């Protein structure tokens, strides 16, 4: 049984046809219109639980952002390692948790399609990167632009 109504399928098809295929509304990770649509700083909670609780799903790429905390001496190498996976260092958010005096917060973001599986994979990958850098993963967030843009 399909989870999409016929009308919603038609709207998705028509939107894709008008634009020449599915395209992201997000052009860059530093888009000034981005807003946090879902986030978590609890490692014990499954990604699927967080996404379901926020009623989040998207057929288009959004910004997946991870916050890690590493010693100051490891920031440059952590950012360089993340860049190999397509992540870029981005600005912190006002509601980022405190990481303590011994660490520096590093925000890593990239534009991609997300679902529970891909976010879980990326959480694991970034947590491993943070650990190899002597730090920890602090949390993650999905950012998108408002639908009316």
- When pLDDT is cut at 50, 70 and 90, the band that residue 24 belongs to is low
Q: In what order do the strands lie in the sheet with 35-40?
A: 35-40, 136-144, 62-70, 104-112, 88-90
Report yes or no on whether pTM surpasses 0.85: no
Do residues 100 and 81 touch, judged by C-beta distance below 8 A?
Answer: no
How far is it, in rounded angstroms, from Cα 16 to Cα 9? 11
| Residues with Cβ within 8 Å of residue 146, at least 6 apart in sequence | 33, 35
Instruction: Report residue 59's pLDDT band, with 50, 70 and 90 as the boundaries.
Output: confident
Evaluate if residue 70 carries a pLDDT over 70: yes
Look at residue 146 and tell me whether its pLDDT is greater than 90: no
Q: How far is CA 62 from CA 7, 31, 65, 77, 140, in A?
A: 24, 11, 10, 26, 13
Q: Band the pLDDT of 28: cuts 50, 70, 90.
A: confident
The C-alpha atoms of residue 27 and residue 133 are separated, in whole angstroms, by 30
The per-residue pLDDT for 148 is 52
- pLDDT of 90-123, one tens digit each? 999 988 999 999 999 999 999 999 999 999 999 9
> 60-83 as b/e, with b when 16 or more CB fall inside 10 Å?
ebbbbbbbbbbeeebbeebbebbe
For residues 104 and 71, the answer to whether their CB atoms sit within 8 Å is yes
Instruction: Give which of 110, 34, 17, 10 is closest to 66, Cα–Cα.
Output: 110
Here the tokens at position 90 are 């981005």
Mean pLDDT computed over every residue of the chain: 85
């Amino acid at each position: 049984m399909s989870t999409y109504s016929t009308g919603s399928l038609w709207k998705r098809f028509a939107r894709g046809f008008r634009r020449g295929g599915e395209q992201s509304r997000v052009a860059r990770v530093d888009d000034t219109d981005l807003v946090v649509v879902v986030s978590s700083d609890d490692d014990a909670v499954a990604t699927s639980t967080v996404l379901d609780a926020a009623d989040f799903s998207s057929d288009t790429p959004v910004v997946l952002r991870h916050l890690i905390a590493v010693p100051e001496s490891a920031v440059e190498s952590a950012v360089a390692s993340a860049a190999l996976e397509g992540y870029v260092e981005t600005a912190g958010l006002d509601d980022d948790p405190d990481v303590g005096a011994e660490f520096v917060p590093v925000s890593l973001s990239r534009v991609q399609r997300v679902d529970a599986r891909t976010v879980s994979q990326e959480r694991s990958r970034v947590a491993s990167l943070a650990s190899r850098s002597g730090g920890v993963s602090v949390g993650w967030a999905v950012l998108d632009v408002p639908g009316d843009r």
